[in-house]
């Protein structure tokens, strides 16, 4: 069959978002096109009102099945398929095709039964992320720990810290600035100097912070955990006016009272905190009561000034904290806020066959399973002990809120 111009093409603008010259703004354009393929085939070039990087086609109900529809743009082509997630309407909507390269012209091909129809080409411009945004998003997505410069590297040749470390669970990640050294790049020398200052002038056993972050994004391990069983992130530090229990201290090198922190430093701070909240099941938007802070509430991600009489971490870094919470939130396992009594997470105790709930003001729902996941017992647990006649260690799931379920091994005592 001879192939040629068997169709008439009419284009209408419909429901258009006016083409924006701003490539940072998303835009949608809809074009109505009449296709008249009486021979059973047609090729339509459709010019978009603006550069587009995604496209979908809306057709009368059944038109998508009456033949084979292919699209070419951005040096690629695809066969259109029906969007099964589209809301039920009288027409068919194709799946959205996202181009690998933007284009301004769509070539639509139809081969199938003779067809006359009005279709709508829906063009989208979705501004891509910059390379930097893209990379930092990838870094965050894995929630892994940042690389550290260890004490053995930066402390080389200096006296060892005074021994006697202890650990503390983290309820609060306290953000500090060092208050000095903007623009200096001898970061290792700066960390060595803080260590020396803290141990000799302040009279502390070791450097005060758990971590230090340099302007170029390098993260230094701070206070030395010194023994197995204590981790870098839960070694008890000296940075929060004597209220160091339940805290982890991170110092960003520099003074941010009027200067903005370097973006590489913020990225590393976010990576460190994202890993920490993931590992410790902390809610970046949450608060706990701090027992040494007159029992008052303190944010999980907090600035030094929130618990002590200080300007630290400087107005500019302090103002970044809400955005830091947002940035690390994808790594959070917990979004609900919970605080029980004793400022501790709820805990199950299983003593002489009796199950008892600690650190919760209210009874909670619990499930006990064997390691294969078979349910052994299910019920409400409360502060008053109740008999649960099971043998051996089991796995518990404790529902604190719909989005906070604690689980682990439960070992009879």
Site residues (CB under 5 A) for Zn ion? 176, 304, 312
Q: Which of 371, 369, 288 is nearest to 334 (CA)?
A: 288
Q: How many CA atoms lie within 13 A of 34 on its CB side?
A: 10
Residue placing its CB nearer to Zn ion in the complex, 280 or 311: 311
Minimum CB separation of residue 310 from Zn ion in Å reads 6
- CB nearer to Zn ion: give 88 or 258: 258
DSSP tag of 272 = H
**Which C-beta is closer to Zn ion: that of 276 or that of 278?**
276
**Helix 321-328 crosses helix 263-279 at what angle (to 10 degrees)?**
50
Min dist. Cβ of residue 209 to Zn ion (A): 9
Q: DSSP secondary structure string, 314-354?
A: -HHHHHTHHHHHHHHGGG-S--S----GGGS--EEEEETTE
Residue 251 or 355: the one with the smaller Cβ distance to Zn ion is 251
The structure tokens 């959205």 sit at: 96
Nearer to Zn ion, 304 or 325 (CB): 304
Shortest gap between Cβ of 254 and Zn ion (angstroms)? 12
- For the bound state, the minimum distance from the C-beta of residue 176 to Zn ion, rounded and expressed in Å, comes to 3
Closest separation between CB of residue 280 and Zn ion, Å? 21
Toward Zn ion, which CB reaches closer, 214 or 312? 312
Give the helix ranges, DSSP H, for 365-404.
none
Our CB check for Zn ion shows the closer of 310 and 342 to be 310
Q: Report the length, in residues, of the chain.
A: 413
Which of 145, 153, 165 minimizes the C-alpha distance to 224? 165
- What is the nearest approach in angstroms of Zn ion to the Cβ of residue 412? 45
Closest CB 200 distance from Zn ion, rounded Å: 19
Q: Which residues contact 273 (CB under 8 A, 6 or more apart)?
A: 173, 250, 284, 301, 324, 328
Q: Residue 313 CB, nearest distance to Zn ion (Å)?
A: 6
Cα radius of gyration (the chain): 30
How many angstroms separate the CA atoms of 411 and 398, rounded? 15
Do 264 and 216 contact (CB within 8 A), yes or no? Answer: yes
Residue 384 contacts residue 356 (beta carbons within 8 Å):
yes
**CB closer to Zn ion, 176 vs 325:** 176
């Amino acid at each position: 069959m001879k192939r040629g111009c068997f169709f008439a093409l009419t284009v209408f603008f419909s429901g258009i978002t006016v083409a924006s010259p701003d490539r940072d703004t998303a835009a949608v354009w809809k074009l109505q096109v009449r296709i008249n393929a009486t021979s059973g085939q047609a090729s339509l070039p459709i010019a978009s009102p603006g550069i587009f990087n995604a496209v979908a086609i809306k057709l009368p109900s059944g038109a998508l099945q009456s033949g084979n529809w292919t699209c070419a743009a951005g040096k690629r082509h695809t066969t259109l398929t029906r969007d099964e997630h589209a809301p039920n309407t009288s027409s068919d909507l194709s799946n959205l095709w996202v181009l690998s390269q933007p284009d301004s012209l769509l070539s639509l091909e139809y081969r199938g039964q003779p067809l006359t129809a009005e279709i709508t080409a829906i063009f989208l411009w979705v501004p891509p992320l910059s390379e930097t945004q893209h990379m930092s998003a990838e870094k965050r997505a894995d929630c892994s720990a940042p690389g550290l410069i260890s004490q053995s590297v930066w402390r080389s040749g200096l006296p060892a810290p005074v021994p006697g470390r202890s650990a503390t669970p983290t309820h609060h990640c306290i953000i500090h600035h060092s208050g000095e050294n903007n623009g200096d790049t001898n970061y290792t020398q700066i960390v060595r100097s803080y260590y020396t200052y803290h141990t000799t002038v302040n009279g502390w056993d070791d450097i005060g912070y758990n971590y230090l972050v340099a302007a170029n994004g390098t993260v230094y391990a701070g206070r030395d955990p010194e023994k197995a069983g204590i981790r870098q992130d839960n070694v008890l530090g000296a940075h929060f006016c004597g209220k160091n229990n339940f805290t982890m201290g991170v110092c960003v090198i520099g003074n941010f009272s009027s200067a903005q922190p370097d973006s590489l430093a913020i990225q590393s701070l976010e990576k460190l905190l994202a890993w920490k909240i993931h590992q410790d099941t902390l809610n970046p938007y949450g608060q706990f009561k701090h027992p040494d802070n007159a029992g008052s509430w303190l944010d999980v991600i907090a600035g030094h000034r929130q618990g002590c009489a200080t300007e630290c971490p400087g107005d500019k870094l302090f103002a970044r904290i809400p955005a830091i919470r947002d940035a690390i939130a994808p790594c959070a396992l917990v979004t609900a806020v919970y605080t029980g009594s004793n400022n501790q997470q709820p805990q199950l105790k299983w003593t002489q066959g009796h199950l008892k709930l600690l650190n919760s003001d209210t009874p909670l729902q619990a499930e006990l399973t064997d390691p294969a996941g078979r349910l052994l017992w299910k019920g409400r647990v409360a502060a008053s002990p109740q008999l649960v006649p099971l043998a051996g260690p089991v796995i518990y799931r404790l529902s604190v809120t719909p989005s906070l379920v604690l689980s682990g091994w439960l070992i009879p005592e």
